[in-house]
Structure 1
Amino acid sequence: MTIRTTALTALAAALALAACSPKEEAAQTGNASAAADGKSVKLLNVSYDVARDFYKEYNPLFIKAYQAKHNGAEIDIQQSHGGSSKQALSVANGLAADVVTMNQTSDIEMLQQKGLVKNDWTQRLPDNAVPFTSTTVFLVRKGNPKQIKDWNDLTRDGVQIVLANPKTTGNGRYAFLGAYGYGLKVNNGDEAKTNDFVAAFLKNAPVFENGGRAATTTFSQRNIGDVLVTFENEANHVSKKLTQGQFEIVYPSYTILSESPVAVVDSVADKKGTQEAAKEYLEYLWSEPAQELAAKLYLRPRNADVLAKHQADFPAIETFTPNEKFGTWDEIMKKYFADGGLFDQLSAKK
């Protein structure tokens, strides 16, 4: 009993530290003087919820490389994390981000449409500006007591699932689209049958959390639910970093590939004079040290050699991309996640 209490206390502390609010993480004032003296630079990276662990370790790596390249010039990186789309809206409404590192292309496309990010943002960096990928998996409790093996098991009576809100988070949207894509496959493209399947899936989620890390906290710290539907890197973070021996990862037979696009917020960087530093900050994501860090934190690196080196950590699975299955992100957002869209319609059947 003492060992379990100690472990839970440690987990609670770790999650509480990780879940600090964007306001606590990012000083939103005083950024206008970022490069005023030509020597010191301050960058604000506005990012999605579960990326905080990666950037917490990435920033010191980049700062060291940047200072070596620029004769010890001072550079400070501040972070803001939350649901991906909420973060993008914050930037659209004036949060002075130099860069955005999201988990959904549509969030950056929205900033592009508002004139904050230039139209060629996907061509400025390798791999269409996506330095690493992930996929949606299931985290279950030790021993897998409900015998969860695939998406269809998440629709059974008596199975409670935990996931982030698909209306406001990329994590939740990928979970919804993962379930929908699986439903289309097993139902031979029959949308009516797939709608029934996904409605049953949503019915087993009593609440939708406001972010991927909030969903993790609910499942792992508050001990609510039988299954956490989340990104592969987040599932590994919980089962191998925060706890040991309490959870297991289940890989579905067919699941969705998630991409984490990045971009300079040109309107802000140009005004602050941080364009070059912001560009270097993102370019370094493709460096070998950064790709190794991604693999270490269970993000699938783009560097083929690094991926091969860590292949044991990344099981070969059959995946699909949102665009090949559902169209452009603009089409996806309108059909599935706009007010009154398919997500709202199917959720109403809960």
Structure 2
Amino acid sequence: MHRSFPRIAALAATGLALVAAGCGGASDSTDGADAGSSSGSRSTLSLVAYSTPQVVYDELIPAFEKTTEGEGIGFKTSFGASGDQSRAVEAGQKADVVTFSTEPDMTRLQDAGLVDDFEKVSTSQVSFIVRKGNPKNIRNWDDLIKPGVSVVTPNPFTSGAAKWNLMGAFAYGGIDYVDTLIKDHVKVQDKSGREALQTFTSGTGDVLLSYYYEAITAQKKGEELDVVVPEDTLQIDLLIAKTKTAGEGTDAFIDYATGPEGQKFFADWGYDPPSGPLKPAKNLKTIEDIGGWKKLNTELFDPEAGSIAKIEEEAGVSTAK
């Protein structure tokens, strides 16, 4: 497995004033939400992404198209659950740029010979989204398993967000804690992080396990809710890469997204820079601190032998990918 984060040291989350314009591109896939199209583009790039950063790319892409490097480039976009999107590209869905929420969704494409290296495009922290005023006084992981507390988190076998959420729980309390959380307190497991947010904002549950930036997204859209970052939590690394068949302009687009101009759009929606959270939790762990993706993805999420997979099956949740 190969991976590289070549631009991270040079990144800064500085804000630059940008002018947004309409985006374009041809649509050749039915997955996710597609951008419109424009004629006369010298190149059309396909962005296949996990669900939650759609609000960012809806602003970032038009701004990129106004740059010298982006002039004449159109876009087709597809957003959905991270695992589903990765498997779709593996199965043949056209993609020039891919951005997923977990490393295994990238290494799947490396193993398939479709991607060489990848890098971080942003980071976040596993957080608790709660009702306005935090009526159940949710402050830490132990509060999630108190009597009467109902938790929403996506299905880890379709959603990258869910894997991060449950690894955050595992990092805090081990597999016994995860067992109690899922079987006694998690009532709904949607397909993606964005669907889970919609379920929560529609009135289901007391707590939504999610990325910190999902709370900012919801607040910007007028939702009445608060966010709690527990003292003990896990850093989330969000990844971007170009495919081996990527068209003209792909490198320039990734440079823009990971550079200071593009990072302004991520920051506006609550995302942290690739270097890590700007306001980290008191006891913030990384995936490497708790064993790394290769080890944990097998031990926790392997459908045949994973300990969390077994818990989900016992709870009646599908582990089919």
Quote the residue 2:150 is aligned against: 160
Over 3 Å counting, the alpha-carbon distance change for 1:117 and 1:88 in structure 2 is same
Question: Partners in 1 of 2:238 and 2:160 — Cα distance?
Answer: 10
Question: Partners in 2 of 1:254 and 1:336 — Cα distance?
Answer: 20
Quote the residue 2:78 is aligned against: 80
Quote the residue 1:64 is aligned against: 66
Bigger Rg over Cα: 1
Unmatched 5+ stretches in structure 1: 1-20, 123-128, 184-193
Unmatched 5+ stretches in structure 2: 1-28, 316-321
Q: 1:55 is matched with which residue: 57, 60, 63? A: 57
Over 3 Å counting, the alpha-carbon distance change for 1:69 and 1:43 in structure 2 is closer
Q: How many residues align?
A: 283
Question: Partners in 2 of 1:157 and 1:22 — Cα distance?
Answer: 43
Check the 8 A contact 2:31/2:80 in 1, yes or no. no
Quote the residue 2:208 is aligned against: 228
| Cα shift readout 1:37-59 (whole Å, capped 9, x = no counterpart) | 9x611111110110111111110
Identical counterparts, % of pairs: 30
Quote the residue 1:243 is aligned against: 222
Quote the residue 1:170 is aligned against: 160
Quote the residue 1:134 is aligned against: 124
Q: 1:298 is matched with which residue: 254, 261, 270? A: 270
Check the 8 A contact 1:22/1:82 in 2, yes or no. no
2:230 pairs with 1:252? yes
Deviation at 1:22, TM superposition (A): 5.5
Q: 2:43 is matched with which residue: 38, 41, 53? A: 41
Deviation at 1:152, TM superposition (A): 1.1
Q: 2:300 is matched with which residue: 311, 315, 336? A: 336
**RMSD between aligned residues:** 2.3
Check the 8 A contact 2:32/2:80 in 1, yes or no. no
Quote the residue 1:148 is aligned against: 138
| Cα shift readout 1:274-302 (whole Å, capped 9, x = no counterpart) | 1x411111111132221111111110024
Q: 2:115 is matched with which residue: 106, 114, 117? A: 117
Deviation at 1:316, TM superposition (A): 4.8
Q: Secondary structure at the match of 1:292?
A: helix
Quote the residue 1:182 is aligned against: 172
AA partner of residue 228 (structure 2): V
* TM-score, length basis structure 1: 0.76
Question: Partners in 2 of 1:294 and 1:243 — Cα distance?
Answer: 18
Deviation at 1:322, TM superposition (A): 1.5
